[in-house]
Chains A and B, each alone.
Chain A
Amino acid sequence: MELNGARILLECLREQGVDTIFGYPGGTILNVYDEMYKMEGVFHHVLTTHEQGACHAADGYARATGRVGVCFATSGPGATNLVTGIATAYLDSSPIVAVTCNVSTSLIGKDSFQEVDITGVTMPITKCNFLVRDVNTLADTVREAFAIARSGRPGPVLIDIAKDVTASTAEYTPVPRKTHSKTGHLGALMQRYDFKPPEPDMEDIQRLADMLKESKRPFLICGGGVVRSRAHEAFRTFMNRVDAPVALTVMGAGAVPGRDPHVTGMIGMHGSQASNMAVDACDLLIAVGCRFSDRVALKPDTFAQHAKIVQIDIDRSEINKNVQTDHHIVGDAGRVLELLTPLVPEMHHDEWKAEVFTQPTETLYDEHPGCLTPSQVLSTIVTEAPDDTIVSTDVGQHQMWAIQHFHFDYPGQLLTSGGFGTMGFGLGAAIGAQTAFPNKKVIHVTGDGSFRMNCNELSTVSYYGLPVITILFDNATLGMVRQWQTLIYGGRYSQTTLDRAPDFVKLAEAYGLNGFRAASVEEFADAFKKALQSDRGSIIDCIIDTDEKVRPMVGGGSHITDFMLN
């Protein structure tokens, strides 16, 4: 059938099973929004306050569901407002498709109103991006974009469509998703790599099995790759079979239940002593879906210095990028572990585990009489909130506290910007997750610094009646930066004091949400219960001490067991 470009785009989204879109309209994307209007009821469109919020929401939706998140924005400033969101998704390998419309083909390159070369801008932060100038290529491009976003190592893809393309018409034939990889440009792309079936190398896997049999002190790192490919079942089976202790990276949270007796906690800069000591003492380190970022392998030269390092990753370019490995297997985490597990005998490493678990896996924070502590707040949430609660965070001290205290049970339960460290990510992500799972509790943990950045999205929370609970650790400072200033910069608190407006309780009320303030654990428990029962969104402004720190801490570039704070 003959359809205009806007309709073809939307029909292609329907082919992909997309039902939720986060976006913000504008001049060049009007045709698309007009067609969406005519297709009333097909898509649930969430209108955010700002394009950045839409992009974070699509990202949060993708992380929580494992499906591709979709966001729309107009040209120029609309498109550039997506950039931080796209980079956030790129660094954490989250599959999103961002659709922007550009000025008409005849106006491109003339510095037209709201024109920007967004494919040029987003080149380093997308897996791939497209500028569509011909309506006849539109359907194929959308199919290819989704396939690329979701497959291999997932990531963001941007499609920029010239406005006249959305208006001009072309023949559109629906193609069921099952046959996408056999038709059109995508089919041709597949043909290029058809010399070898997509399977990991069995010799590599056998070699790892042999290494495991020789090892007395094996140690596992579970990274974000396990979460992204939903390989948690395979990982848990493997872990139980080899009976090795496991450290979780920030991105790996939820792949193994946090309370599992094999888990040594987080690893790296704010990793537990058990994790950091174990990685230093092990004789075989198997990292699954982990890229040894500088927050994990703080000093690559001495990282796991007594161990043979084995890296399992789907992205060949991650092998030997940050840490030199002794062996690697390229493949999907789930598939590699499924093939590996039967080759290893049932093992027991009680002595080694006993040694590892003499070190604390969690941080015991001090209580301060008469003062609310993050530990009290988070412990209350752990007891009161349902076990399957989804937690989104911003970036800073509160992020580390939240990950240290919550025990995540399934992938997609923690939504946090680990790689890019985007302050202001959490509220958008919470909106995305709550939209995907209206019946789950979604808690957004933030700090006063991060929250100020994108709290404009409270209007989205309010309008769509999302019962997101924002836990705001209010220490009137940029906490993590202040912690560094205290420890490394001689207490010179340059531009980190945030003793300023707004009054967050009044802000909540202004948006039609519940606002609470808590300065003691009793006040917090009371407020949190009320928030849980409310069908409206809430903000709980938790007044905590300015100099509360994240512990332990290893300085950037230091050896992993040289704790600066214990």
Chain B
Amino acid sequence: MNSTSRHTLAVLVDNEAGVLSRVARLFSGKGYNIESLAVGTTDSPAISRITIEVIADDKQLNLLCNQLRKLICVHSVKSLKPEHAIRRELMLIKVSSGDSVQRNEIIQIANIFRASIIDVSKASITLAVIGDENKVETIQNLLAEFGILELVRTGMVALERGQYTIDEQTKMKGEFDYGKNVLQENYYEPFA
């Protein structure tokens, strides 16, 4: 049997109401928990890009991708291999800093991890960290002893390395588009 692992899916969709729920529903409907989800617009205002991370085996992943590709609102789907992808997320973390000693320690940790300090108050410091889940979780663990007041993570976004893009015209993409392509012209005629 295939073993399960964490996969990153990049999905281009119509930038319209209801599209996100259509996409997310497929995961819950098939019994998969979405580990991470990030959505934003692209260089085209009509198209959004969703990055989804899910734990599945290769076969399950294939089925999920295929179901996604079938949706009318989905333009393309690509599973990004970890070794060929750049994955980053942003974490904002608010840590309590009781005295100047603690504050200095937190600032040192921030410097080591190249996190930026974006807010300081008498009793707290807020940091912004960009990285993959290892980096983000490591700094989170280090800061835990100071007392984390609040934190938020954007979810992972990812791009493929090199010149490859999600828009490649592979044979499989052509085959999926065929099903939608049959819309062409005289779809009704054989039966009219």
A residues at B contact (CB < 8 Å): 16-17, 65-68, 119-120, 123-124, 127-128, 131, 146-148, 150-153, 177-178, 181, 186, 189-190, 192-193, 195-196, 198, 200-201, 229-230, 314-317, 320-321, 330-332
What are the residues of chain A within 8 A of B31 when measuring CB–CB?
none
Contact A316 B184 (CB under 8 A): no
B3 interface residue per 8 A CB criterion: no
**Which of A65, A186, A195, A315 makes the CB contact (< 8 A) with B183?**
A186
How far is it, in angstroms, between the C-alpha of A66 and the C-alpha of B172 when the chains are bound?
29
Contact B184 A190 (CB under 8 A): yes
State whether A151 and B171 are in contact (beta carbons under 8 Å apart), knowing that A119-B18, A123-B25 are contacts in the complex: no
Work out how many contacts link A and B, with CB atoms closer than 8 A.
102
What are the residues of chain B within 8 A of A200 when measuring CB–CB?
178
How far is it, in angstroms, between the C-alpha of A127 and the C-alpha of B72 when the chains are bound?
8
Contact B75 A321 (CB under 8 A): no
How far is it, in angstroms, between the C-alpha of A148 and the C-alpha of B183 when the chains are bound?
7
**Which of A67, A147, A321 makes the CB contact (< 8 A) with B66?**
A321
**Which of A124, A189, A332 makes the CB contact (< 8 A) with B182?**
A332
Sample of 11 more A-B contacts, CB < 8 Å, known A150-B187, A177-B188, A230-B190:
A66-B190, A148-B72, A151-B183, A153-B179, A181-B185, A190-B184, A201-B171, A229-B190, A317-B70, A317-B176, A332-B182
Contact A189 B25 (CB under 8 A): no
Contact A316 B62 (CB under 8 A): no
Contact A317 B67 (CB under 8 A): yes
What are the residues of chain B within 8 A of A196 when measuring CB–CB?
169, 174, 177-178, 181
- Contact bitstring B118-154, A, C-beta under 8 A = 1, else 0: 0000000000000000000000000000000000000
State whether A152 and B174 are in contact (beta carbons under 8 Å apart), knowing that A123-B22, A230-B190 are contacts in the complex: no
Contact A314 B182 (CB under 8 A): yes
Task: Name the residue on B nearest A67 (C-beta).
Answer: B191
User: By CB atoms of chain A within 10 A, which of B29, B177, B179, B187 has the most?
Assistant: B179
B192 interface residue per 8 A CB criterion: yes
Contact B178 A331 (CB under 8 A): yes
B175 interface residue per 8 A CB criterion: yes
Contact A198 B184 (CB under 8 A): yes
Contact A198 B181 (CB under 8 A): yes
Task: Name the residue on B nearest A317 (C-beta).
Answer: B66
**Which of B67, B178, B191, B192 makes the CB contact (< 8 A) with A198?**
B178
B34 interface residue per 8 A CB criterion: no
B63 interface residue per 8 A CB criterion: yes
Contact A17 B69 (CB under 8 A): no
Task: Name the residue on B nearest A182 (C-beta).
Answer: B185
- Contact bitstring B58-76, A, C-beta under 8 A = 1, else 0: 0000110011011010010
State whether A151 and B182 are in contact (beta carbons under 8 Å apart), knowing that A124-B29, A181-B187, A192-B75 are contacts in the complex: yes
B163 interface residue per 8 A CB criterion: no
**Which of A16, A66, A128, A330 makes the CB contact (< 8 A) with B72?**
A128
How far is it, in angstroms, between the C-alpha of A152 and the C-alpha of B29 when the chains are bound?
23
What are the residues of chain A within 8 A of B70 when measuring CB–CB?
315-317
What are the residues of chain A within 8 A of B2 when measuring CB–CB?
none
**Which of A65, A316, A321 makes the CB contact (< 8 A) with B175?**
A316
26 pairs, CB–CB < 8 Å, chain A vs chain B: A16-B188, A123-B25, A150-B191, A151-B182, A151-B183, A152-B181, A181-B185, A186-B183, A193-B180, A195-B177, A196-B169, A196-B177, A196-B178, A198-B178, A230-B190, A314-B179, A315-B70, A315-B179, A316-B66, A316-B172, A316-B176, A316-B178, A316-B179, A330-B175, A330-B178, A331-B178
B21 interface residue per 8 A CB criterion: yes
What are the residues of chain B within 8 A of A147 when measuring CB–CB?
183, 187
User: By CB atoms of chain B within 10 A, which of A192, A331, A332 has the most?
Assistant: A192
State whether A193 and B25 are in contact (beta carbons under 8 Å apart), knowing that A17-B192, A230-B190 are contacts in the complex: no
How far is it, in angstroms, between the C-alpha of A131 and the C-alpha of B191 when the chains are bound?
28
What are the residues of chain B within 8 A of A67 when measuring CB–CB?
188, 191-192
B186 interface residue per 8 A CB criterion: yes
What are the residues of chain B within 8 A of A177 when measuring CB–CB?
188
Task: Name the residue on B nearest A133 (C-beta).
Answer: B17
Task: Name the residue on A nearest B188 (C-beta).
Answer: A150
Contact B183 A152 (CB under 8 A): yes
What are the residues of chain A within 8 A of B177 when measuring CB–CB?
193, 195-196
How far is it, in angstroms, between the C-alpha of A316 and the C-alpha of B175 when the chains are bound?
6
Task: Name the residue on A nearest B26 (C-beta).
Answer: A124
How far is it, in angstroms, between the C-alpha of A192 and the C-alpha of B69 when the chains are bound?
14
Min CB gap A148→B, angstroms:
6
Min CB gap A150→B, angstroms:
5
How far is it, in angstroms, between the C-alpha of A152 and the C-alpha of B179 when the chains are bound?
5
What are the residues of chain B within 8 A of A148 when measuring CB–CB?
72, 183
State whether A189 and B183 are in contact (beta carbons under 8 Å apart), knowing that A66-B190, A321-B63 are contacts in the complex: yes
